[in-house]
Amino acid sequence: MKTLSQKLAPNGPKKILALDGGGIRGALSLGYLKHVEDILRKQHNNPKLLLSDYFDMIGGTSTGSIIATLLALGWEVDDIKDMYFKLGKKIFGKKYKWWKIFEIDDAFKAKYDHAALVEQLQNILGDTKLGDQEKIRTALVIVAKRADTNSVWPLNNHPKGKFYDSGHGNNKDIPLWQCVRASAAAPTYFLPQSIEVGGENGFAAFVDGGVSMANNPALQMLMVATLKGFPYHWPMGEDNILLVSIGTGMTRWKKMPKQITKSHLLNWAANLPDMFMQDASWQNQQVLQWMSNSPTAFEIDAEVTALGDDILSDEPGRKKGLISYLRYNLFIDTKDLNERFKPSKPFTEADVESLSAMDNAENCQQLYDLGFKAGEQEVRAVHFPAGFMV
């Protein structure tokens, strides 16, 4: 297996795993990841193969950053699943009490007590830091949003990074639990996270990375891997980069025109974040489909369809993309779920509303099962070419 230094180096084919944000719906991602892990173990004839053995870069946003960090530390999917179910019930269990004097101020700022989230992350990640080259087995990218400068921060562990260990900042010394907490500081759910970033910046205030164009972090991670301003400098090419992106479930926007025209300010305020996040994810996916000849491509825009005839390439006239790209996700919608899985008890609108919530920890098992069933249908061994084997 490759060492961390070999994975960080620019030579050889590279594999990137990007995990979306979505609160407790990260359980759905784990269902997909179980199939990816199983397929790669069979492909390599190694029942103990870890996703950190296969992928050179693993990263995520919000809940995706929790799962990504554990994968990068060498956890198996089953172990993450067991931990995640317990974690979800604890961090989404204690709400602030508006009638308690000492919690009134925080109760108006966030729904849940962040102390439970901090405690659990500290228990799981201990004193491991972002720059721990012995414990972290892959390039790790944790996507957070710096609220005080309104900028996306892809915290990563490359020792040649500008902010890793220099006068600009000392990211290597940030505890992993703080990095993850920063990425998962979803506004209205948890209070922002303050981190000492060093250099001239001192302390920085972070909110959930999902409050940006990178709730789906796949495009951001590709930029980290390839742009000259970042330290990786991995070469583009269909045979050079395999980008695997996994979602946390999508909802369909079903509001009728009359409902929209009658909406008032509070309705718009409640719906705008979801609208922006969906738009950002669709845009990211469309750009990545444009850059690739993806076997998982699907129609996002009816006018340009799945972009099968519009592949960006450095070889004009050939259908060879700039990357290899896979996207796994499913719609959390009554029509889609019932037609796709044909359950004995059909999904109702109430079921879908509950499953779509980002903070209902009681849904962990059902969300995992949906991701597992969808992965059974979608994830294929041929999606992982021999040229990208370890």
Nearest residue to 380 via CA among 43, 77, 64? 43
pLDDT at 9: 95
112 compared with 69, residue with greater pLDDT: 69
Q: How far apart are CA 244 and CA 305, in angstroms?
A: 21
* Strand, helix or coil for residue 144: strand
Q: How far apart are CA 353 and CA 347, in angstroms?
A: 10
Which of 20, 53, 208, 333 is flagged as catalytic?
208
pLDDT exceeds cutoff 50 at 217: yes
Mean pLDDT of the chain, nearest integer: 84
For 328-374, the pLDDT digits (tens) are 999 999 999 999 999 999 999 999 999 998 888 899 999 999 999 99
pLDDT at 193: 61
Which of 29, 52, 62, 324 is flagged as catalytic?
62
pLDDT at 102: 42
For 27-57, the pLDDT digits (tens) are 999 999 999 999 999 999 999 999 999 999 9
User: Quick one: 257 exposed, middle or buried, by C-beta within 10 A (0-12, 13-18, 19+)?
Assistant: exposed
Residues of the chain with pLDDT > 70, as a percent, come to 78
Q: How far apart are CA 117 and CA 102, in angstroms?
A: 19
Residue 87 is classified by DSSP as H
Mark whether 62 is an active-site residue.
yes
Domains of the chain: 14-93+104-249+270-278+314-388 (3.40.1090.10)
pLDDT exceeds cutoff 80 at 246: yes
pLDDT exceeds cutoff 70 at 109: no
Residues of the chain with pLDDT > 90, as a percent, come to 56
- Mean pLDDT to the nearest integer, 315-326: 82
Q: How far apart are CA 65 and CA 62, in angstroms?
A: 5
pTM greater than the 0.75 cutoff: yes
pLDDT at 260: 57
